[in-house]
Structure 1
Amino acid sequence: MTSSNTARWYLIQTKPRQEARAEEHLLRQHFECYRPIKAPARGAQGGKSGEALFPGYLFIRLDCIHDNWYPIRSTRGVSRVVSFGGQPTPVRDELIEQLRQRLAQPQTMAAAPFSPGERVRVSGGSFSDIEAIFVSSDGEERSVILLNLLQREQKVRVPTRYLQCYS
């Protein structure tokens, strides 16, 4: 497919864990595809390749007057074209460009702001003003804390920004 001004991006839902297969087969049919992949953070442990930003989905660029969706829907690995009101819904070019720019920036793994076992106070959300014990970071924006609720200790995930040092 061409990258002319009439071309638009659309969202494709893939079969479970078949994003790469769907992309490969769509590319073989000369469709332009984009499957955003998060690069592994520096300092992160694990495999070399990144993970899909949107597991189970990829973007495809098509000419707006393209109404024969059958070759796409029948492609190996493709489940369906994401539609609203029975019509495939275009995705703004700006969104795709923002994704590409964001993913091109190097990602660094932030050091945990608290140490395991450290006492913290929750300063927002449902557990505001409750004391807890920091357990671990759960990604870049969430943390696991240990709360004493109803005489039982419960592990809860909360946004890290809600946590403060207990004084």
Structure 2
Amino acid sequence: MEEAKWYVVHTFSGYENKVKVDIEKTVENRNLQDQILEVAIPLQEVMENKDGQKKSSMRKIFPAYVLVHMIMNDDTWYVIRNTRGVTGFVGPGSKPVPLTEEEMIALATFMGTPQEKVNFAEGDLISVITGAWQGTEAVIRSVDAEKQTATIFIDMFGHETPVELNFTDIKKVQ
């Protein structure tokens, strides 16, 4: 028996969830669980900072694409190709090309790494909302997305002194 592989299916934008549900229903109705094993929408956790609060949300890594773990044959090809919202398989012409093991490992690694969404930039006017500098307004001089910090300058005894603050300690002034 042939080995199941992961294939990339192109969908209309915004139809990813509907395509996933429709394929899963068809698999159940036609009893194809042994040929179409899994349908997945690659998602990644994104950390966002809104008004000093960290919020986590899931984002589609590849909008308009769905991954299908299946054994490729005429029946499975037909089911996928004729699902409403599917525009085709990824591959040259009409021949679907499975993802390589290296591509799957890279994708799994990428999906498991939360990405930080930075809502602050150099030049933004911010207000410090916690700590010793609470209530201070300043302009961001630099941002470190990896460390989730922003550097501002505070006037201390007539000298501008750099102060590094966490994103959770500041908010943008509108």
Structure 2 length normalisation: TM-score?
A: 0.54
Residue identity in the other structure for 1:21: K
| Preserved CA contact (<8 Å) 1:8 1:93 | no
Name the SS of the counterpart of 1:21 in structure 2: helix
- Tell me the residue number matched to 2:14: 17
Whole-angstrom CA distance in 2 between matches of 1:57 and 1:26: 13
- Tell me the residue number matched to 1:160: none
* Structure 2 residue corresponding to 1:39, chosen from 32, 39, 45: 45
Q: Say which structure, 1 or 2, has more relative contact order (CA 8 Å, 6+ apart).
A: 2
Counterpart mapping for 1:1-167 below 5 A: 6-28=3-25, 29=27, 30=33, 31=36, 32-43=38-49, 49-64=57-72, 66-68=73-75, 69-109=77-117, 115-116=122-123
Shift of 1:71: 1.1
Whole-angstrom CA distance in 2 between matches of 1:34 and 1:106: 18
Whole-angstrom CA distance in 1 between matches of 2:54 and 2:87: 29
Whole-angstrom CA distance in 1 between matches of 2:66 and 2:43: 10
Shift of 1:20: 0.7
Q: Deviations over 1:109-149 (max 9, x none)?
A: 4686x6227xxxxxxxxxxxxxxxxxx99x99xxxxxxxxx
Whole-angstrom CA distance in 2 between matches of 1:42 and 1:85: 40
- Which structure 2 residue ranges, 5 or more long, are not aligned? 28-32, 125-141, 147-174
Shift of 1:41: 1.6
Name the SS of the counterpart of 1:61 in structure 2: strand
Change in CA separation of 1:78 and 1:111 when aligned onto 2, cut-off 3 Å: closer
Residue identity in the other structure for 1:107: Q
- Tell me the residue number matched to 1:152: none
Q: Which has the larger radius of gyration?
A: 2
| Preserved CA contact (<8 Å) 1:9 1:93 | no
Shift of 1:40: 1.9
- Which structure 1 residue ranges, 5 or more long, are not aligned? 118-135, 141-167
Please, what is the CA RMSD of the aligned residues?
Answer: 3.6
